[in-house]
Amino acid sequence: MKLNIWKSFKKTNGATLTSLADLLQGREAGAAVRRGHLEMIPLFGSACAAGSFAPPQKSLRLTQVTNYGEMILENQGSLPTIVPLHLGYFQNAAQNHAMCVSALLAAGKSKQFKDACCIQEAEGGYIEEADERFIILPQPLRDKALALRGKEDYSKLWKDIAAFNRRL
């Protein structure tokens, strides 16, 4: 399969996907910053100015867990927001979930993620609608979760969580 990341695409529902070229237009790359396995190249330009994105802790809401390992997140803000990589939600008497991917959500839009991880092996029940604080997975689990992105298996991180807990 050939993929041209520089052109715009139309989805069947009429929504336009923005190309990488459109996202980078008018921006300058800053000096790369590296910490461990993570490397980031900051982008500067008009669309990256302060106030262009809604903070996820204020605009992001978990609207529904449709099945184990499946979450629907909604951006309730008036600006686009970033779904942070390794985002997780905790709730009493429910199976807590974490993300293996990040995403960009337009203002007022929702997205279903089918490759989330259940992070408690022995707890049942679905998380109810929540706009409470979210967590980010501990550092030792992040590489493991990232490697599992796209895999639709709610228990895919349990073995790594158990190993992490034994090391505590």
pTM of the predicted model, to two decimals? 0.67
**What is the reported pLDDT for 49?**
58
The pLDDT profile of the chain, 168 residues, written as one tens digit per residue, is: 444 544 555 554 555 556 667 777 778 888 888 888 888 888 777 554 566 888 898 899 999 999 999 999 999 999 999 999 899 888 888 888 999 999 999 999 999 999 899 988 888 888 877 656 788 999 899 999 999 989 999 999 999 999 999 998
Segment 113-141, tens digit of pLDDT: 998 999 888 888 888 776 567 889 998 99
Residue spans of the domains in the chain: they are 9-48, 56-167
Which token pair is 152?
């639709």
**What is the reported pLDDT for 108?**
95
**What is the reported pLDDT for 3?**
46
* Distance from C-alpha of 156 to C-alpha of 152, rounded to nearest angstrom: 8
**Range 2-18 burial, b when 16+ CB lie within 10 A, else e:** eeeeeeeeeeeeeeeee
**What is the reported pLDDT for 93?**
80
Ramachandran area for residue 91 (φ above 0: left; ψ -120 to 50: alpha; else beta): beta
